[in-house]
């Protein structure tokens, strides 16, 4: 047996053992897959990381396809480093130097991205088992509600936090509704959903020909560590490669931007309109399949990521994902807001409720 194959088998065995162990734990939580179905529209979700595993929908010719990048097995999701489909938290995105000051106290976080904290730390919300509170598989509005209690000091963050995520289907729409309540102590909260989309099908190649429109006339310039500069705030997209105010192929100007030291988008946009209100954020279209995705949300910002770091990555059904094999549209707060008083605050105080809603509307 080749060494690489032996390593892959060993990782799968470790992951399988972890599934068995956590399923038999005192909390009684088991990792499972939950399917929501509405006619020919279906979504699969696992309570490992509150992860979207698949979305199936016809194309313009009636051919069903899954157009979410991902893995075949739970064991592979546990070992995944590409961040296929989970909820990120307690604070998604990067926190500079893994530190912040809140109410006069300095907090030090788990550092897992160079000198910084990324996606909540090495064991963020994507690497835990969520409790399934409610599950309705069919009917007019199938849904699943997942719950996680983040404990005081987890990855360095202060205070207990109750977090709920509900995935709900209606005809050709997927709603994602997240809320979090701080218990006892103030804490920063910024959740996001990190699904990779390829409207042609998860193994259909790159997404450079997808047309994209963003309802965002400003973006936040980032430095080489993907962090904003203090006091600089947001800049207009007009005249830059970040301009998607009119429908534009994703690949049209992609070589003109660098997302994390490689060509591609990993950029935060300021969504036009009033934060807190549901409003249009983005629309993507794959001309070949006819599938389109329209995103609505209530957060102040959105991260566009074009799978810059995929590199011969093994995916579902024997597919292999390369750079630009998908794109992510992640509504969120501003990056590193906890260290930038010029940005809208992400601090949630005891008794307050953080609310984050988004709706993906599909057509074909």
219 annotated binding-site participant: no
Q: Please state, in angstroms and rounded to a whole number, the distance separating the CA atoms of residues 26 and 7.
A: 31
Residue 211 maps to a domain? yes
195 annotated binding-site participant: yes
The boundaries of the domain holding residue 335 are 30-363
Residue 7 maps to a domain? no
Q: What does the pLDDT read at residue 117?
A: 98
Residue 25 maps to a domain? no
Domain count, the chain: 1
Catalytic: which of 154, 202, 215, 330? 330
Bridge partners (DSSP) listed for residue 321? 313
* Per-residue pLDDT reduced to its tens digit, 238-272: 999 999 999 999 999 999 998 778 899 999 999 99
Q: What does the pLDDT read at residue 259?
A: 76
340 annotated binding-site participant: no
Q: What does the pLDDT read at residue 230?
A: 66
Residue 189 maps to a domain? yes
194 is catalytic: yes
Residue 260 maps to a domain? yes
Is the Cβ–Cβ distance between 279 and 215 less than 8 Å?
yes
Is the Cβ–Cβ distance between 71 and 82 less than 8 Å?
no
Catalytic: which of 38, 76, 154, 194? 194
Q: What does the pLDDT read at residue 229?
A: 77
Nearest to 221 by CA among 335, 297, 341, 309: 335
CATH code of the domain in which 110 resides: 2.70.98.10
Q: Please state, in angstroms and rounded to a whole number, the distance separating the CA atoms of residues 215 and 296.
A: 10
Q: What does the pLDDT read at residue 329?
A: 98
210 annotated binding-site participant: no
Q: What does the pLDDT read at residue 231?
A: 64
Q: What does the pLDDT read at residue 29?
A: 79
Residue 51 maps to a domain? yes
Residue 9 maps to a domain? no
Task: Provide the terminal-to-terminal Cα distance of the chain, rounded to the nearest Å.
Answer: 45
Residue 126 maps to a domain? yes
Which ranges of the chain have pLDDT less than 70? 1-28, 230-231
């Amino acid at each position: 047996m080749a060494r690489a194959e032996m390593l892959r088998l060993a990782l799968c065995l470790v992951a399988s053992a972890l599934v068995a162990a956590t399923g038999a734990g005192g909390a009684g939580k088991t990792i499972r897959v939950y399917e929501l179905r509405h006619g020919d529209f279906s979504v699969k979700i696992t309570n490992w990381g509150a992860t979207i595993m698949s979305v199936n929908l016809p194309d313009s010719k009636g051919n069903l396809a899954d157009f979410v990048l991902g893995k075949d097995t739970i064991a592979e999701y546990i070992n995944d480093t590409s961040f296929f489909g989970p909820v990120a938290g307690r604070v998604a995105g990067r926190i500079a130097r893994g530190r912040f000051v809140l109410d006069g106290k300095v907090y030090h976080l788990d550092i897992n991205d160079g000198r910084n904290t990324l996606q909540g730390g090495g064991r963020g919300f994507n690497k835990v088992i969520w409790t399934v509170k409610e599950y309705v598989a069919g009917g007019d509005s199938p849904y699943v509600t997942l719950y996680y209690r983040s404990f005081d000091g987890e990855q360095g963050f202060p205070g207990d936090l109750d977090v709920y995520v509900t995935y709900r289907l209606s005809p050709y729409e997927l709603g994602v509704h997240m809320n979090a309540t701080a218990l006892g102590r103030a804490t920063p909260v910024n959740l996001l959903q990190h699904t990779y989309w390829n409207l042609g099908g998860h193994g259909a190649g790159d997404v450079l020909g997808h047309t994209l429109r963003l309802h965002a006339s400003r973006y936040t310039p980032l430095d080489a560590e993907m962090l904003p500069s203090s006091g600089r705030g947001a800049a207009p997209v007009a005249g830059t490669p970040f301009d998607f105010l009119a429908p534009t192929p994703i690949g049209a100007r992609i070589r003109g931007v660098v997302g994390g030291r490689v060509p591609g988008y990993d950029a935060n946009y300021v969504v036009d309109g009033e934060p807190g209100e549901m409003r249009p954020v983005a629309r993507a279209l794959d001309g070949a399949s006819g599938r389109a995705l329209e995103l609505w949300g209530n957060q102040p910002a959105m991260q566009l990521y074009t799978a810059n770091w995929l590199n011969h990555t093994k995916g579902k059904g024997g597919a292999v994902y390369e750079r630009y094999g998908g794109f992510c549209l992640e509504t969120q707060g501003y990056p590193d807001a906890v260290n930038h008083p010029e940005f809208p605050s992400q601090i949630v105080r005891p008794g307050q409720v953080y609310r984050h809603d988004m709706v993906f509307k599909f057509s074909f």
